[in-house]
Amino acid sequence: MKIAVVGATGLVGSVMLKVLQERGFSNETIIPAASQKSVGKKIQFASRELTVVSVEDAINENCDYAIFSAGSKVSKQYAPLFAEKGTVVIDNSSCWRMDKNVPLVIPEINIDAVKPTDKIIANPNCSTIQMLVAIAPLNKQYEIERIVVSTYQSVTGTGVKAVNQLACEEKEEKCQMAYTYPIYHNVLPYGGDFLENGYTTEEEKLVNETKKILGNPDIQVTAMVARVPVVGGHSESVNLQFKKDYELNNVFTLLENTPGVKVLDQPSKHIYPMPILSEGKDEVFVGRLRRDNTIKSGLNMWVVADNLRKGAATNAIQIMQALIARKK
């Protein structure tokens, strides 16, 4: 099997290579691709050294799968060219997510959305993935009517430049700014770009992607995104209103038996999800589960996950694994 990783030298690309090793792909042919400035660079993969090639060269390798994490512009230009060669593309950018002809997939929820003829598959936004992994089983059982979500997103969600900015500010050094304002000792009340309606692109993704993945255009979703001085792991405060009433004990049981979810909820012992606990892990951590007594059938919860893993690299590779399993 040949697998191309497009954007292999980036933050998410490097995690993709790590997850491929962890998930048993060490002996497959891995083609790392990146921009022209990285061509020829050596990357360690398992027990061997790989050489970074151009995206054009990777296309001509006739790969079985190509996992993209190189931004929307690169995906828009090159994903169709891979697809024309028969390669299945799993794209981590926002380029194809809302295309009605492209499935937007979280394997635990809607892998059946991928048809055998689909050659481009979209990976959702990191914040959408962790929230939906946590709430999809609740939606199935109690039917979610409304979601209010506030996110506390780490700087790795912005990229290397933002990670460097935080590190420099901690050391009181001057550096290139990824954000308009300092991030160290600060919280920035936005993520992505501002839209004319006052919301941001990150907030809009949470709304639109949730509706598409759950297959419910009528579900009400409102979002507030903030960037916090944390290196890895996104946190979310999620408030749900169900159409059906629930018992809190049943919610715990449902989540504890959901693949990919780990419940950490013992407040008296100070056990609850935190970014520091999620870093390097693939699970979505859920805690602070409690009834919202201000609305009928309301629930509050706290959701945390490693945004580079389940929020990006791991989810993409899980999609590929599910498609491979189909063929067996």
Catalytic residues: 126, 234
CA 272 from centroid of its chain's CA atoms:
21
Instruction: Say how many C-beta atoms besides its own lie within 10 A of residue 184's C-beta.
Output: 14
- Sign of the Cα torsion 275, 277, 283, 287 reads negative
Interaxial angle between packed helices 126-142 and 201-214, expressed in degrees from 0 to 180 and rounded to the nearest 10: 40
